Structure 1
Amino acid sequence: MGSFSSNQLFSLLHVDYVKLGIKWNYKTVISPYYRLYFIDEGKGKITSPLGVVDLEAGYLYLIPSFTVCDLSCDEYLSQYFVQFFEESGNGLSLFANQRKVMRVSANEGDIFNFKRLLEINPGRGINRSDNPKVYEKDIYYKEYQDLNHQQSLSCHFETQGILYQLIAKFLNKEPDLERNTSDIPSKIMESISYIQLNMSQKISVNLLASRANMHVDYFSRLFLQATGLRPISYILDKRIERAQYLMITGYLSFDEIASQTGFESVSYFSRVFKSITGMTPGQYKNRRLSV
């Protein structure tokens, strides 16, 4: 099956069935986890920089982690939803190059899978509020993830299997993802792991090439072939993803976030943040707080 056959795991956060109304209207939602919806009644909208996607009965919708979007409902909407973290042994996200809202037709098997997830994972709804500003806090992430450690082995495997089945429907619709399923050289895998584990340290392409015992030009070409990004772009993308996670889940200052994500100054951090997200850190934070 390729490089994702044994490296990709999903850590369940929430699963529930909810009925929503006009109060479900949130701007600039960008979460460090995946959102997967099945709509059974009503209508809504997901608005992203790539346009508007209508939420309609009979369809599945996937919002990959770190995808900026607005969520809204004009009248009435009911949905099954599941939210989960992606845990990749090789540091590569399934949808690293497909940060967009995706939609596929649902079938009876998909509906059964959502109901089965609810049945074997009781008490995993968002019990406080449907407002991301309220429930997207690190303390709540830990609270729900602790429940995963209490799962029986059979429940854990069944939950993983259902999430694999649901995610697979979107992989079939994304031919560009075929590149990700090719085998990745072990030296590149080691470099990706090093980047993930040393995010706060200085990491240069020369350092990575030296660790891999390769010429820097050859290493860069190999890295690009394996990940779709040049090493420096990959490093900066991962730093900014980590910064977004820290801004969403914690209360650190921009100086602290810049330091923890390996930027030598707040000004450099701000420039890179804006070039990747289209917003300054301050604009990003303010828009999230103006839900």
Structure 2
Amino acid sequence: MIEFNLLNIAKYTSGHHWNYVNIISPFARIYLITEGEATIYQNRQYYKLTPGNMYLIPAFTNNTYQCTGSFTHYYIHVVIEPQGNLSLFGKDMKVFEVKATPFDYSLFERLLYLHPGKGLWNPDPATYNDCLVKNSENDFLRGYKCKVETFGILSQIVSRFICPEKMEAGQQLTPVRLRALLQYINTNLSEPVSVARLAEKMYLSPDYFSRFFIKYMHLSPLEYIHQKRIEKAQLLLVTTSLSAKEIAASAGYDNLSYFHRQFKKHTTMSPNQFRAIHRNI
């Protein structure tokens, strides 16, 4: 139903340097504030981060982070991968806030205990990407018991931000067979995926399939495929040291120039620019 890839977990005190403009991260951020205050600006709205509260910032949302003094917080960087077209947060891709409970604090502490040294161990922008890569490599060395417990902890933390009514509404709007097809697309992004092949899997003509897809997804099959391929490329740029050519291939692009054009179309910047910016936070 859902998978998690934990990238970072730490407790840290940030100062006035915690100021980043128009950041679009390919992973979700979860904060538990313990002292001080900071602000996130998203979609013409300011969200104040205050002690005793938890915040979730969904992936692929544009945010500006600001701190004029200092604040202490737990932070989690995590890739949340629902299956098919499942949307955990409905269409409200905003900054989510919930009141933290004593149990929430214990979950963060336990996650820290399970993953020591998984924070951003070097704040130098030039090494941020290397930190994510190293943390991902270290995950292969952890035992199965740790992975299962980590999944359970993240499930409990993320569940605090889920609105069941919005999830159910989104699921009801998307036919079961289309959800299965979306899962097929998402797991085969590195392979050739044509509209004709997708239509065949649903036993529809290409034209009728395209209209059917647009009705429920509000974008064409090709637009959806490109969107998901670029999202995959964004994640690989931040969490691996792969070259742009290798990432293009992993995202299903055999032409590097075409990959660059599609990436800039979706993100307004080149892959190298995107990687450099996300080394800063």
TM-score, normalising length from structure 1?
0.76
What is the aligned counterpart of 1:203 among 182, 187, 193? Answer: 193
* 1:61 paired residue number: 55
Distance 1:73 1:158, change over 3 A: same
CA distance in 2, matches of 1:118, 1:257: 31
What is the aligned counterpart of 1:166 among 157, 169, 179? Answer: 157
CA contact (8 A) 2:40 2:65 kept: yes
Deviates more, 1:43-52 or 1:14-23: 43-52
What is the correspondence of 1:43-54 to structure 2 with a 5 Å cutoff? 43-48=37-42, 50-54=44-48
* 2:35 paired residue number: 41
Distance 1:97 1:273, change over 3 A: farther
Cα deviation per residue 1:236-291 (whole Å; 9 max; x = unaligned)?
111111221233233524x5544543447555444443443344546545544677
* 1:241 paired residue number: 231
2:162 aligned partner, one-letter code:
L
What is the aligned counterpart of 1:213 among 190, 194, 203? Answer: 203
What is the correspondence of 1:222-233 to structure 2 with a 5 Å cutoff? 222-224=212-214, 229-233=219-223
* 1:125 and 2:112 correspond: no
* 1:150 and 2:140 correspond: no
Cα distance, 1:40 vs structure 2? 1.2
Deviates more, 1:188-197 or 1:229-238: 188-197
Q: How many residues align?
A: 279
CA root-mean-square deviation: 3.5
1:250 aligned partner, one-letter code:
S
Distance 1:18 1:281, change over 3 A: closer
Distance 1:285 1:111, change over 3 A: closer
CA distance in 2, matches of 1:278, 1:185: 33
Cα distance, 1:80 vs structure 2? 1.4
Distance 1:283 1:18, change over 3 A: closer
CA contact (8 A) 2:10 2:76 kept: yes
Cα deviation per residue 1:45-83 (whole Å; 9 max; x = unaligned)?
223454432221122111222334343322111011222
2:59 aligned partner, one-letter code:
S
CA contact (8 A) 1:35 1:65 kept: yes
* 1:4 paired residue number: none
TM-score, normalising length from structure 2?
0.78
* 2:181 paired residue number: 191
CA contact (8 A) 2:86 2:167 kept: no
Deviates more, 1:269-278 or 1:29-38: 269-278
Cα distance, 1:109 vs structure 2? 3.1
Distance 1:268 1:139, change over 3 A: closer
Matched residue of 2:37: which SS?
A: strand
Give the unaligned 5+ runs of structure 2: none
* 1:31 paired residue number: 25
CA contact (8 A) 1:34 1:65 kept: yes
CA contact (8 A) 1:239 1:262 kept: yes
CA distance in 1, matches of 2:87, 2:126: 25
What is the aligned counterpart of 1:276 among 266, 271, 276? Answer: 266
1:126 aligned partner, one-letter code:
G
Matched residue of 1:161: which SS?
A: helix
Distance 1:227 1:218, change over 3 A: same
Matched residue of 2:17: which SS?
A: coil
CA distance in 1, matches of 2:222, 2:75: 36
* 1:73 and 2:67 correspond: yes
Distance 1:290 1:83, change over 3 A: closer
